[in-house]
Amino acid sequence: MRAHVCRNLRGKPRPVGARPPSARAVTRRFLAHPDALPESDRIQLEAVLANCHELTALSEHIRSFGHMVAHLQGHQLPTWIEAATATTDLPSLRHVAQHLERDLDAVTAGLTLPWKSGVVEGHVNRIKMLKRQMFGRAGFEHHRRRVLLYA
């Protein structure tokens, strides 16, 4: 009996079988390009999607948004927001779409223009890290020299 049944914390028997994938694993499979997924991951993702129509709809929205981001097609954003807002069974997706709509011009520009602020954000992150490392140890002049030295 013990070989065929294992018990959870409450003592109820449950069948032994393959563990369902974690939320992190499913999310990683959603966000990966379909051609880049190994066959085993693709099969597991199809099994998860077959059991839940909400996740199927969500994956379609995620893939279309990812395509829009990868190919700088910001002009399609209002259509995507309209489709995402129309979904009644995905309140979290509706919430994200409503927040994107609040600053539609900036998000459209970010999805359309080739210029990004990643380099600037990297420098800001580096300066914050240096500041945290030196907190309470040195004055402003030493901090200034270190920031300029590693620039």
What's the chain's average pLDDT? 84
DSSP state, residue 32 = S
Structural domain containing residue 138: 118-149
Count of domains observed in the chain: 1
Closest CA to 61 of 45, 77, 37: 77
Asked whether residue 136 is domain-assigned, the answer is yes
Asked whether residue 13 is domain-assigned, the answer is no
Closest CA to 54 of 2, 106, 94, 98: 94
What mean pLDDT is predicted for residues 80-87? 92
Asked whether residue 113 is domain-assigned, the answer is no
Q: 120 vs 21, 80, 125, CA distance in Å?
A: 37, 29, 9
Residue 47's pLDDT is what?
Answer: 86
Asked whether residue 7 is domain-assigned, the answer is no
Predicted structure pTM score: 0.66
Residue 99's pLDDT is what?
Answer: 94
Confidence of residue 80 (pLDDT cuts 50, 70, 90): very high
Confidence of residue 14 (pLDDT cuts 50, 70, 90): low
Check whether 5 has a pLDDT greater than 60.
no
Asked whether residue 39 is domain-assigned, the answer is no
Asked whether residue 141 is domain-assigned, the answer is yes
Asked whether residue 100 is domain-assigned, the answer is no
What digits encode the pLDDT tens for the residues 88-133? 889 999 999 999 999 999 999 989 998 888 889 998 998 888 888 8
Asked whether residue 144 is domain-assigned, the answer is yes
